[in-house]
Structure 1
């Protein structure tokens, strides 16, 4: 039961073949049995969830109109506010902090009938590629406990991959839903910037780079959650899209789609197994009737997205972290310390970085004049051992930040991007691929992902915990 996707669980509830109480209790039992090995869950709201499940069961019995996720449990990264449930942001500084209002994304899933079950772990203040902090410790990857599930939505990805939750909410400033999804073999979507409000997420800055995104074990679950989460909330000024949401997202397009695929140059160096998985995915799309060819995007070769990201987010994040940690220096973990110790960015560097982002946007716009989608890696390697500070790829030594190489360009430019599994490493670890399309073309991304899922040899694989 815990490994059925959210769409199937909702259908079973509506058909009265399972009760919301049984469903929620099954996930509580799974958390109690497995999470001691993972440390993915930081707050379990079992009694509240069961009370809501009993109310949901009565609604089914009465024949009430049911929401699309009626009675289905979900989990939330602990950077998103949850009313009357602790939201501690991965820091002892915020220990016991209890919001009074749900984040917009949380409220929308609850309005659809979903039941909040737990909050999940994250790195301190969400700013790291490994999920660990002083308050709630380190999260392990369910495929190999000695490895990271990624960051910053690593607790969420580990929980979903291990069957503790069918559906969750993460957030993404550079890699943070897609990288963890790749490391744990699930699906995650970073929609076009502004599609999903970030209201109720902390840190708020830089809001032009932050995204809230759905995470699940199936493409159809991510598509369903995306439809529920999208649209202005009247609070987030970026969530004011003039482009109508395609409610048929994932549906069959009317024309034959053109897909360009790219590994190197642009995203390299890349582990050979990851590169081979992207090539295999391209072959699968070709066999499925897409027009597929290898491509190059000059802007990606000329512009260092990681350098731009560091220069653009630093001047905004550093003051926020300094304010949050003032008077609490004995409670700062290494990630906040690193932010505070980073050299200040000069105005000319900031302006130059902003202009470079505009050139990068132009490079993608030119690409999407000729192609409907881009297929590329998510991360340059499968999940790494905990605490790794350096990678050696194709004989080159690079810092651990290289893990962002293929994801950060889509935060800088606001393009939609989805991560899904399509391969397995020699060590049995998931290998993900990333699908992107032009701004507001989530329907294209989801359609391609659904086609890949249908022919995938690894769909449905799960860790043995």
Structure 2
């Protein structure tokens, strides 16, 4: 019975709790037992919330007494350890913040709780949320539940591994360049990076560069992403980027009035792509065509003129470097992990290069704007390869050798433009590893891409697959 609990999605668990077929205490206990069983191998969970069971008992009482229940009532959720949680350590993957306990919840956490969710645990990340692997001096390295010798990604890698392994049905991660979508791709779960500003970043560090950071839901079903996003979105009066009052309906089963137009591409503009990954994107595009969408191979010339990954590198370094320098002032470099040390040692970007990069962002935004006058969505890969082995810094992809930052080639354009994107599995590599595709939409078009993702999920050849961990 426990396996039936911990591999249910959040929507199903909420309904089972609402109809009294299962209690919140049973649900939370099943996930705590799962953490005890598999976390020693995966190392995704870094802190279990002390009051999770107590909160579950309170939730159970509310059900039995017939109280009005929130849409996530009694459902446990996990949170990346860069997101503040009141009374529960938020240590940012760093010895510098060891033992740090916030007084208040981040807005996103508070909204999950208001919906009835129960904070279960905090999940691992790279130091300061800044690396492609979730590894640090404080809590060690997270492993991919599909292959423990491989990474679950970064920076929301602990979150992705926890959800994939059944330790959590639903969680919150953050995304600067690919960090909810890439880890989801490496572990075969789903995630949403909404339009920039749709979900407030209040209570999350680092915030520099503010215009690129996002917080978003990670789960095992598209309907869970929609449900979570319906609770997370909207201004909080504290994050000045979070101003959109566009309403989102969590019911994603209603067909639009016309067939949707979808363009798909893997190259050029994103860097080299593994043939298995490219084939998965093409297969997903064909699947949407077979269920009634208009689907075309496309190119976006702006992405060919300005390589978004290079643009991003020139823009974010100066701001993050300053943020990291202030946070680490007076501390020994022995307290810092490799990636932060590397960031602090990087040379400053010249003002000319910085301003040129800002202009490149405008051209890329214009390129997408033109594309979305013709199409409702763009389908691409998320990462150019499946999950890689731990500690690898360079990759040979389709005959071209590239550095680790190239892994975010298809993901980072959505950060510099603020466009929304869903990451979801649609394939499997010859080594048995998940391969995800990315569905991007125009600004504020979360309903469209979640509808398409749900449509694709319904015909997916890899639904309901779980790692044997």
How far apart in 1 are the matches of 2:390 and 2:451? 35
| Correspondence 1:426 to 2:430 | yes
Q: Say whether residues 1:221 and 2:224 are aligned partners.
A: yes
Give the structure-1-normalised TM-score.
0.99
Deviations 1:268-320 (A, max 9, x none): 31000000000100110000000001000001111111111111111111111
Residues 248 and 447 in structure 2, CA contact (< 8 A), matched pair in contact too: no
Which residue does the alignment assign to 1:459?
463
Shift of 1:327: 1.7
Aligned partner of 1:155 among 153, 158, 164: 158
Out of 82, 86, 111, the residue aligned to residue 79 of structure 1 is 82
**1: CA distance, partners of 2:207 / 2:171:** 20
Aligned to 2:284: 281
Assess if the C-alpha contact under 8 Å between 1:121 and 1:154 holds in 2.
yes
* 8 Å CA contact 1:251, 1:443 repeated in 2: no
Question: Distance between the aligned counterparts of 2:220 and 2:262, measured in 1?
Answer: 24
| Map of 2:409 onto structure 1 | 405
Structure 1 distance, partners of 2:6, 2:250, is: 28
Work out the CA distance in 2 between the residues paired with 1:231 and 1:168. 18
Could you list the structure 1 runs, at least 4 aligned residues long, displaced by more than 2 angstroms after superposition.
242-251
Aligned counterparts, 1:249-328, within 5 A = 249=252, 251-328=254-331
Take 2:232 and 2:114, find their aligned partners in 1: how far apart are those partners? 10
- Per the alignment, residue 448 of structure 1 pairs with 452
> Offset of 1:195 from its aligned partner?
0.4
Instruction: Please say if 1:99 is aligned against 2:102.
Output: yes
Alpha-carbon distance in 1 for matches of 2:168, 2:56:
15
Over the aligned positions, Cα root-mean-square deviation in angstroms equals 0.9
- Kept in 2: contact 1:249–1:442 (CA 8 A): no
The answer on 1:417 being equivalent to 2:414 is no
Where does residue 129 of structure 2 map in the other structure? Answer: 126
2:185 and 2:32 mapped to 1: Cα distance? 25
CA distance in 2, matches of 1:261, 1:330: 46
- List gaps (5 residues or longer) in structure 1: none
Asked if 1:57 corresponds to 2:66, the answer is no
Residue 349 of structure 1, CA deviation: 1.2
Alignment correspondent of 1:392: 396
When residues 247 and 422 of structure 1 are mapped into structure 2, their CA distance, relative to the original with a 3 A threshold, is: closer
Name the residue aligned to 2:113: 110
The one-character-per-residue Cα deviations of 1:115-135 (angstroms, maximum 9, x if unpaired) are 000000000100111110000
**Displacement, 1:145?**
0.2
d(CA) in 1 for partners of 2:382, 2:324: 28
The Cα offsets for residues 313-345 of structure 1, whole Å up to 9 and x where unpaired, read as 111111110111112122011111011011101
What are the ranges of 5 or more consecutive residues in structure 2 without an aligned counterpart?
Answer: none
- In the alignment, is the contact (CA less than 8 A) between 1:181 and 1:215 conserved in 2? yes
* Cα 1:231–1:20 shift into 2, 3 Å: same
How many angstroms does 1:256 deviate by?
1.0
1:138 aligned counterpart, secondary structure: coil
CA shift digits 1:54-99 (9 cap, x unpaired): 0000000000000000001000000000000000000000000000
1:435 is aligned, of 427, 436, 439, to 439
Question: Given that residues 175 and 404 in structure 1 are in contact (C-alpha distance below 8 angstroms), is that contact kept between their aligned partners in structure 2?
Answer: yes
Is 1:81–1:102's contact at 8 Å kept on the other side of the alignment?
yes
How far the C-alpha of 1:245 sits from its partner, in A, is 3.4
Spell out, residue by residue over 1:220-264, the C-alpha distance to the aligned partner (whole angstroms, 9 max, x if none): 000000000000000000000154435544531111100000011
Distance 2:32 2:267 in 1: 44
Conserved? CA contact 1:85–1:99, under 8 Å = yes
From 240, 243, 246, give the equivalent of 2:243.
240
Instruction: State the alpha-carbon separation in 1 of the partners of residues 254 and 271 from structure 2.
Output: 33
Q: Distance in 1 between matches of 2:285 and 2:164?
A: 25
Distance in 1 between residues matched to 2:55 and 2:150, nearest whole Å: 35
| Residue 2 (str. 1) matches residue 33 (str. 2) | no
Match of residue 164 from structure 1: 167
Structure 2 length-normalised TM: 0.98
- The 3-state SS of whatever aligns with 1:182 is helix
Q: What's the counterpart of residue 202 of structure 1? A: 205
Question: Which deviates more from structure 2 when the two are superposed, residues 101-110 or residues 263-272?
Answer: 263-272
